Amino acid sequence: MLQAIKYAKSKHSKSVFEASIKFNVPYSTLKHRVKGRVSRQQSRQPLQKLLPASETELLRWITELTIIGYSPSHMVVKEMVEIIRARQEGFDSEVPIITPLGKNWVPNFI
């Protein structure tokens, strides 16, 4: 999608439609992205409890524990998430720290 947007905005492209065909992406999506609309994933980031990098780190931590034979319980994962959220509070003010994790946050993450 990023390549199609770049191509559509370049001098080489005759139209957004041409770029959509060349890069095999939906025309309507490309048209909106060229006009500045963000993806659903990007628009939901301010609502997420963890930053994408923190999610990746949490996943790595869970995977490592599982490999060594200790699959963490939901409670342990939830405690780790709260520690990560407390640390990321200083890095990104857009992450709402005051909202608690929901009771289904851990199963939904997994």
pTM over 0.75: no
Long-range contacts of 55-58 (CB under 8 A, 24+ apart): 55/109, 57/84, 58/84, 58/109
pLDDT value at position 99?
74
pLDDT digits (tens, 9 = 90+) for 48-82: 788 888 889 999 999 999 999 998 999 999 999 98
pLDDT > 90? residue 96: no
| d(C-alpha 37, C-alpha 29), whole Å | 9
